[in-house]
Amino acid sequence: MAPPSNFPMHQAINRTPLNVDATASVTTVLALIADRRMDYALISDEQRLVGIFTHRDLVRLVATAKLLTELTIAAVMTRNLICLDEPVTQDLLEVLTKMRQHRIRHLPVVTAGGRCCGIITQESLRDFLNPVDLLRFRRVREVMTTAVVSASSDASALTVTQLMHGHRVSCVVITEQAQNSIIKPIGIITERDIAQLSLQNIDLGATTAASIMRAPLALIQPEETLWNAHEMMQAKDLQRLVVIDATGALAGIVTQTSVLSIVDPIEAHMTITTLQKIVDNRTSSLQRANEQLQRQISERKRAKAALQKQMVRERLINRISQRIRESLDLIEILSMAVAEVRQFLQVDRALIYQFQPDGNGTIEVESVDANVPFLKDLSWGDEAQRLFSAEFYRSGRIHSIPDLAASRPEETQQQNLSKLGIQANLVVPIGEHERLWGLLVVNECSAPRRWEQSEINLLQQLSNQLVIAIHQSGLYQQLQVANQELKQLASVDGLTQLSNRRRFDECLALEWKRLAREQQPLTLIMCDVDHFKRYNDAYGHLGGDTCLRQVAQAIQVSIKRPADMAARYGGEEFAVILPNTDAQGGMSVARQIQSHIAGLRLPHTNSPTNDFVTLSLGVACFVPTLSLSPNALIEAADGALYQAKAAGRNQFVLHQDLIGQEAMIKSQSPDI
């Protein structure tokens, strides 16, 4: 997962919030909230955001017996707003923290002039995060609220409203006591329900909770995963689920706020934070060492020239350290390092050599003077391995040769250096022992050179910084791989390994827009396993899962082109998108699917249609236009699927709408 600072927060902003004038009446605003199926309204005065009105504000009014018909929205709205400035610069973690700190569910986004240009809500954050893996491994019991406010079914709606207001909660669970003294939940009343009753001018004092509660309840148990809770909320358009234990007794409640509390991208954030601390600590240590060194220089009254050179060297290290903090491109950092070192030391060549696992190596980056050849362009075979031996440098040894002609290295090494035109050589390892990564090498080719201790220290300091850069780059690559895997998981159905519903919607929308521009046909096939409930009854859910996987494989092998896509649409229903395919092509693919399904010969003894598993298919072909929605194609294919089922199943029906007229073409499945 990417760190919070890398999340595109603009995708979580609803740019079309409900915005009303401050002079509007409360009843008018309530009608708009109900019509838009929202739980808030933003209040503006002369295009400047001045307040917000939520279901919580309505509960407060009803609980205190305010007459809604006599009030304007400006008189009852919440004024002291917590907002974000446009453009939004906060990262995801900061936004979540702000919402929890202030116990709010709505975070407006305003321009510099105070005009509202969007809003972030818990719903938009939940849809934006799509927290697949984090939720699959966490349990409801970890985040559920056990202190649930409840009331009996004979309590009045006004009493329930007063309970909401007094406890500052968004719902009250209606319960009854069973014969075994267990308190069981039988319904729920939310702020939205109170809002609807107020809009209808119903007397809350004379209305019982039993007559307005929502029932039957959407229930979940503590040991179920948060992913199950998340999917149930999305499928049923709910903001909360009631939690019961194994006996059916009320155990707690889990809300969207609870789910959001678990999906902070903490792991990726902590990885980047830890890495940043490492760099900061190293930089801080380096700065402290520099200060101490400068004090020693002052105390010993070193020459001004030496002090200036020291300062230049430290600025070089700081520049490289800054680049390491700013960039995750390892080659860019290494190239900048050798160029800076060659310029600072005024040497003929600087290079970085990387060891491979087999002990060999390659020159990764190199910087040379205008009159000096690149070593990596020379043909020098195994000489590199003899010059740059991993075993020689593994202990952290620094190899310094000031004058090749005056020194007495081994004969072979002296010949190798002479052949390459090197007269002075300095090599510093990058890493050590089992973590030896490579070598930092500088050469003097025009004349011998006595390497000063300060120059050796510089290369050692730079080597330490490069170790940080290499480690940082490795962590970043791991994060990239993890992000790619997460993206793959988010677009693939876990059971069938086909594309999931989310990926299907994205692909259909993209192909619709593209083919609308090109005015080419787009075909959609909707498939449904015939009598699948009876199959589950006969063979069990595990057998049903196996059946769906085999059906999915049969559908997948029926499509040939890279642009074609098969997806699990939901349950036992599948969909196939065929871009640039006319009706005849769509029917050909449908026949291929039928043929492959027939070839499986999966027994289905409970099917009144056939002794083996069969499919009903609906085929629709449109030439998309921008005036139509892709839903039109889905409805057409779904209608054709309905016709196939009505006609006896085990067949496909074509719904064609290419020239403004509708036609139905039926085709029986091949015999199994």
Q: What 3-state class would DSSP assign to 575?
A: strand
Please name the residue that has the structure tokens 């409801």: 140
Two structure tokens written together for 170: 């968004």
* Calpha distance 335→363 (Å, rounded): 11
Chain-centroid distance, C-alpha 158: 43
* Calpha distance 529→613 (Å, rounded): 7
* Calpha distance 509→523 (Å, rounded): 13
In the chain, % of residues over pLDDT 70: 87
Q: Give the model's pLDDT for residue 130.
A: 57
Residue 424 and residue 449 in contact, taking contact as beta carbons nearer than 8 Å: yes
DSSP assignment of 568-611? EEETTEEEEEEET--HHHHHHHHHHHHHHHHHH--B-TT-SS-S
Which residues face 603 on adjacent strands? 612
Confidence of residue 2 (pLDDT cuts 50, 70, 90): very low
pLDDT at 383 over 90: no
Select the highest-mean-pLDDT range: 2-16, 384-398, 654-668.
Answer: 384-398
Q: Give the model's pLDDT for residue 412.
A: 47
Lowest average pLDDT, out of 88-97, 236-245, 432-441, 658-667, goes to 658-667
Q: Give the model's pLDDT for residue 633.
A: 95
Please name which of 259, 25, 15 lies closest in space to residue 135, comparing C-alpha atoms: 259
pLDDT at 449 over 80: yes
* Calpha distance 200→596 (Å, rounded): 57
Ordered strands of the 171-177 beta sheet: 150-152, 171-177, 183-190
Q: Give the model's pLDDT for residue 1.
A: 44
Q: Is 572 a catalytic residue?
A: yes
Please name the residue that has the structure tokens 């060297």: 313
* Calpha distance 654→472 (Å, rounded): 56
Q: Where is pLDDT greater, at 603 or 466?
A: 603
* Calpha distance 167→62 (Å, rounded): 14
Residue 536 is given by DSSP the state: H
Using only C-alpha atoms, the chain has a radius of gyration, in whole angstroms, of: 35
Indicate which residue of 572, 573, 635, 662 is catalytic. 572
* Calpha distance 94→92 (Å, rounded): 5
Q: What 3-state class would DSSP assign to 126?
A: helix
Please name which of 63, 83, 294 lies closest in space to residue 197, comparing C-alpha atoms: 63
pLDDT at 283 over 90: no
pLDDT in tens, 318-331: 877 787 777 778 88
Two structure tokens written together for 46: 């002369």
Residue 90 and residue 66 in contact, taking contact as beta carbons nearer than 8 Å: no
Q: Give the model's pLDDT for residue 9.
A: 76
> What is the average pLDDT across 512-537?
95
Q: Give the model's pLDDT for residue 278.
A: 56
Q: Phi then psi for 664, rounded to 5 degrees? A: -115, 125
Please name which of 365, 374, 367, 320 lies closest in space to residue 342, comparing C-alpha atoms: 367
| Helical ranges in 213-255 per DSSP H | 226-236
In the chain, % of residues over pLDDT 90: 36
Residue 130 and residue 490 in contact, taking contact as beta carbons nearer than 8 Å: yes
Confidence of residue 302 (pLDDT cuts 50, 70, 90): low
**Average pLDDT value for the chain:** 84
Two structure tokens written together for 333: 């950092």
Residue 4 is given by DSSP the state: G
> What is the average pLDDT across 25-53?
89
Q: Find the distance separating the first CA and the last CA of the chain, reported in whole Å.
A: 47
